[in-house]
Amino acid sequence: MWLIRYPFPPSAIRCESCLVSQTLDLISVTAIKSARAGKLIGRRVVWLDQTVSTNETAKELAGRRAPEGTIVLADEQSAGKGRLGRTWTSPPGASILLSVVLRPRLSILTNLTMMASLAATRAIEGSTGLAASIKWPNDVLVAGKKVGGILIEGQLSGEMPRFAVVGIGLNVNFDVRTAPEIPETATSIALELKHEFPRQALLLALLDELEVAYTALKAGAAILPEWRARLETLGRWVKVATSVGLIEEGRAEDVDELGRLLLRHADGSLVALSEGDVSLRY
């Protein structure tokens, strides 16, 4: 199948339509499997050259009793998903597209975005040396720009979670400037480093950090303080657009144990928001 590819760096061979198999930055499934031996995250590895969305594949597998820790990885998504029906853009072979099947207890379900964004920022810093931060609730930032996003989906059985899928997309060797649908507030690891970076190294670091953060979360260890410290949103005057069409404006004062944003309105009243899109004012 012929596909549009966004080359990086722009000065490199320009190829408007390349075969996926010509992708240079390969991920080795064998190396991932051996690195994850004996671990929870990645105990089963599903690699797909192409899929609709790794989250969709992971949900399907989870519904068919895939064990906790199963990971789904793809080189390309034909309909990558953001929150609220939005699209996640990724050219073939240039991004990390990962979904993890988890079976968390109810009490930690709302902390999964916190856990995943913390793991992603730690992995970026540890493997690339770039400083990374978080824009509440689910944006992973480098140099103040969006380098990745988190999408948590799941299914409940009565009140109990049947499974959760943690979807993580990271722009690695993606020249986001070539994709008109992506806002100017986006970046990639390669753009920030000014050279290409092996996806494999970042992916292995990410799986390690997910293991550490999820183990801590399950054990009841506090991951909130570090997540809070990485939130660039706090202390700023923000506007939050919620999915039900409300606009809340005020100072992003703090976050609570559930990961909700505590917003102080100009009249002094406080509201706890569990979701929304933040625009930073100042």
Write out the residues near ligand BT5 by the rule CB under 6 A. 53-55, 77, 80-83, 86-90, 97-99, 138, 146, 149-151, 167-169, 171, 176, 182-183, 186
Q: Give me the least distance between CB of 220 and ligand BT5, in Å please.
A: 27
CA 177/CA 224 separation, integer angstroms:
34
For residue 127, which of 202, 36, 204 has the smallest C-alpha distance? 202
d(CA 20, CA 22): 5
Q: How far is the CB of 187 from ligand BT5 (least distance, A)?
A: 8
Q: How far apart are CA 105 and CA 125, in angstroms?
A: 29
Q: Which of 53, 81, 60 is nearest to 150 (CA)?
A: 81
Tokens of 90: 């990724």
Q: Closest approach of Cβ 272 to ligand BT5, in Å? A: 20
Find the residue with minimal CB distance to ligand BT5: 149
Among residues 66 and 97, whose Cβ is nearest to ligand BT5?
97
Nearer to ligand BT5, 90 or 111 (CB): 90
Q: What residue spans of 174-223 are helical by DSSP H?
A: 189-193, 199-218
Relative to beta strand 45-51, strand 71-77 is parallel
Q: Is the CB of 122 or the CB of 146 nearer to ligand BT5?
A: 146
Closest distance to ligand BT5 from the beta carbon of 266 (Å): 26
Q: Which is nearer to ligand BT5, 68 or 264 (CB)?
A: 68
Residue 58 Cβ, how far from ligand BT5 at the closest point, in Å? 8
**C-alpha dihedral sign at 254, 255, 260, 261:** positive
Given the DSSP bridges, would you call strands 17-19 and 2-4 parallel, antiparallel or unpaired?
antiparallel
Q: Which is nearer to ligand BT5, 63 or 222 (CB)?
A: 63
Q: Which residue has the tokens 């990962």?
A: 98
Q: Which two tokens stand for residue 73?
A: 């990885």
**Residue 55: CB minimum distance to ligand BT5, A:** 4
219 vs 244 by CB, closer to ligand BT5? 244
